[in-house]
Amino acid sequence: MPYRLQFCKDGYDITDQPYCVTDADKVRAWEGAHGDVCLVEVARTPRGRWRITTTDIAAGLPISVYDRRFPSPLDALGYIANRRKQRPVEAECRCGIPGDQCD
């Protein structure tokens, strides 16, 4: 299951910022290097854990998954991948075109 991460803070994409991992309040894992299918979106809880808020691939997931807390966004992605009998692998763009212009 190839993915790319997008880090957001207060509704803004901070993925390119050096502090994105620690300051993000939401993280999305998108399918592939430039895909538009959200594999999972997680939000940081007040205690610093992560909860799943949405996914475009919810088929087969129990409703209780939205109540679970995960230590990291990658743990949540791993849970989703495991339920689909797949393994998450970070996607790599090989086309050399900036993301907003690549298909």
Residue 93 contacts residue 70 (beta carbons within 8 Å): no
- What pLDDT does 50 receive? 98
Q: Fill in the amino acid letter for 59.
A: A
Which pLDDT tens digit goes with each residue over 54-66? 999 877 788 899 9
- What pLDDT does 72 receive? 97
**Of the candidates 33, 27, 35, the residue with the CA atom closest to the CA atom of residue 6:** 27
Which pLDDT tens digit goes with each residue over 29-86? 999 888 889 999 999 999 999 999 999 987 778 889 999 999 999 999 999 999 889 9
Residue 54 contacts residue 41 (beta carbons within 8 Å): yes
- What pLDDT does 78 receive? 95
For the cut 70, the answer to whether the pLDDT of residue 96 exceeds it is no
Query: What is the reported pTM?
Result: 0.86
Torsion-angle region of 11 (φ positive above 0: left; ψ -120 to 50: alpha; else: beta): left
In the predicted model, what is the mean pLDDT of residues 96-101?
57
> Could you say which DSSP state residue 83 is in?
H
